[in-house]
Amino acid sequence: MIKYRQGSLAAFELLYSRHKDATYRYFLRQCSGQAIAEDLLQELWSKVIKSKNSYQEQAQFTTWLYTVAHNLVVDHQRKLHVVEQHDEQSQLSLDAQPDTQLEQQQLAKKLKHCLNKLPSAQLETFLLNQETDLTLAQIAQVVCASLEATKSRLRYAISALRQCLSLSREG
């Protein structure tokens, strides 16, 4: 970001290429659909561009970026005044066997169901842990929680997902 602030367009392109897919997945899983995720992604990168001259190197760029992304999600949810359902898309290989595809689709559906059951704070912590290279301390900064609370949220989320997925297999 510092090089971008100094005028390097290549630096911005590198930041964008490194982080666009992960931030898109983050928005997609936090929101109710692709259109909203795409809008939030566009808004995020617009904020990155607008913050070019005011960006302060107080934390890693990734921490700052996900803090901005987190705030966009919170603002979006406030505007709606409802808890959004989380959209999880499965990625299936085109050459997979039909039975393998069906198993993958069923597993993706179970995972989506289990993710939707998590409280929003646990879901966000889990997704940031899975989708980014942020440390738990950085995730704590992003979600404005203590490190211990962040660890607990992640632990509870993993436990709840394991339990939900094991119950789904039995049922």
* Residues 54-79: tens digit of each pLDDT: 887 777 888 889 889 988 888 887 77
**Angstrom distance (rounded) from CA 124 to CA 144:** 12
pLDDT digits (tens, 9 = 90+) for 14-46: 999 999 999 999 888 888 788 888 999 999 999
Examine residue 157 and state whether it is found in any structural domain, yes or no: yes
31 and 102: one domain?
Answer: no
CATH number of the CATH domain containing 30: 1.10.1740.10
Q: How confident is the model at residue 116 (pLDDT cuts 50, 70, 90)?
A: confident
- The pLDDT of residue 94: 45
Structural domain including 77 reads 1-86
Of the chain, the percentage scoring pLDDT greater than 70 comes to 84
| Domain assignment present for 92 | no
Q: Are residues 19 and 76 in the same domain?
A: yes
In a domain, 91, yes or no: no
With respect to residue 52, please indicate whether it lies within any of the assigned structural domains. yes
| pLDDT tens per residue, range 119-138 | 888 988 998 888 887 899 99
- Say yes or no: 129 and 158 in one domain: yes
Is-contact 65 20, C-beta < 8 A?
Answer: no
Contacts of 86 (CB under 8 A, 6+ apart): 29, 30, 31, 32, 112, 115, 116, 123
**Nearest to 91, CA basis, from 69, 116, 111:** 111
Same domain, 72 and 103: no
User: Which CATH number covers residue 158?
Assistant: 1.10.10.10
Domain boundary among 58, 86, 114: 86
Q: What is the pLDDT of residue 84?
A: 36
Residue 26 forms part of a structural domain? yes
The domain total for the chain is: 2
Question: Do 54 and 132 lie in a common domain?
Answer: no
Indicate whether 9 and 68 sit together in one domain.
yes
DSSP 58: S
Query: CA of 120: how far to CAs of 20, 30, 69, 83, 154, in Å?
Result: 22, 9, 15, 8, 12
The pLDDT, as a whole number, for residue 13 is 92
User: At residue 15, what is the residue type?
Assistant: L
- pTM here is 0.57
